[in-house]
Amino acid sequence: MEAEAGKIEIQDYCKHTKLFALCDRVMTAAAQRKKTADVTSLTQAALFIAKRESTRMEDFFSKLTPRYPQFAEPLKECANFFKESTIFLNLRGMNGGTASLDVHYALDDASQCETALANAKASIPEVTTHIQKWKNLFEIAYSGVMALETAAGY
Residue 86, domain CATH: 1.20.140.40
Torsion angles phi and psi, residue 96, rounded to 5: -100, 0
Global pTM? 0.86
Q: Residue 96: helix, strand or coil by DSSP?
A: coil
Q: Label each residue of 49-60 as H, E or C.
A: HHHHHHHHHHHH
Q: Decide: residue 23, CB within 10 A, 0-12 exposed, 13-18 middle, 19+ buried.
A: buried
Q: Which domain holds residue 57?
A: 2-152
pLDDT tens-place string over residues 73-128: 999 999 999 999 999 999 999 888 899 999 999 999 999 999 999 999 999 989 99
- CA dist 143 and 57 (Å) reads 21
Count structural domains, the chain: 1
